[in-house]
């Protein structure tokens, strides 16, 4: 898992006009919250066919998505580079589908600070608020707690928090925790 491979593929996404942001353990690593990255989760918002044109030179496979907890439109894995593309990120709650917006973070990653708000090695970072919600919904409490504690002590995207709590499909306990960040 080389950062240079991730950077190369994100340059191709940008050149193709595809909106994207780094999430998952890559986001946690960029924020200095974990040392190890499991894989690179890139949230994308584009038709699957457009993404496939960008990655046609790579060995890829489509992963199951849209069933169980995961309600994203598609998931494509570039296996040799340990990159997972998640198209239109969404999870299922007991109330319905929670679409998680592709908002960029307001801070900077701890690694290579390149002067662009919400980026790491030139790669836009997904909003920690979004991944707090996602990890909570996935039952990954330790990662959710890392992000929640991070958000308590840093700049927060208050507009995004308000947007998230307006989602009628999200569980009330998650909304309450998000609102506490605004207090």
In CATH, what number is assigned to the domain containing residue 88? 3.30.460.40
Residue 65 domain boundaries: 3-182
Does residue 107 have a pLDDT over 90? no
* pLDDT value of residue 112: 41
Residue 74 has pLDDT above 60, yes or no: yes
Q: How many other C-beta atoms can be found within 10 angstroms of the C-beta atom of residue 140?
A: 13
- Cα distance between the two ends of the chain: 39
CA 42 to CA 56: how far, in whole Å? 17
Q: CA nearest 161: which of 144, 142, 175, 172?
A: 175
Number of domains in the chain: 1
Average of per-residue pLDDT values in the chain? 92
């Amino acid at each position: 898992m080389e950062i240079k491979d991730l950077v190369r593929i994100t340059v191709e996404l940008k050149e193709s006009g595809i909106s994207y942001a780094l999430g998952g353990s890559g986001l946690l690593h960029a924020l200095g919250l974990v040392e190890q990255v499991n894989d690179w989760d890139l949230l994308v918002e584009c038709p699957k066919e457009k993404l496939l044109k960008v990655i046609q030179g790579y060995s890829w496979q489509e992963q199951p998505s849209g069933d169980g907890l995961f309600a994203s439109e598609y998931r494509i894995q570039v296996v040799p580079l340990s990159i997972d593309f998640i198209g239109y990120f969404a999870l299922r709650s007991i109330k319905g589908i929670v679409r998680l917006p592709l908002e960029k973070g307001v801070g900077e990653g701890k690694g290579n600070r390149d002067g662009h708000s919400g980026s790491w090695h030139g790669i836009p970072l997904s909003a920690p608020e979004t991944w707090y919600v996602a990890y909570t919904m996935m039952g990954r409490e330790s990662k959710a707690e890392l992000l929640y504690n991070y958000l308590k002590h840093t700049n927060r995207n208050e507009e995004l928090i308000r947007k998230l709590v307006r989602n009628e499909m999200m569980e009330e306990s998650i909304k309450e925790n998000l609102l506490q960040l605004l207090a």
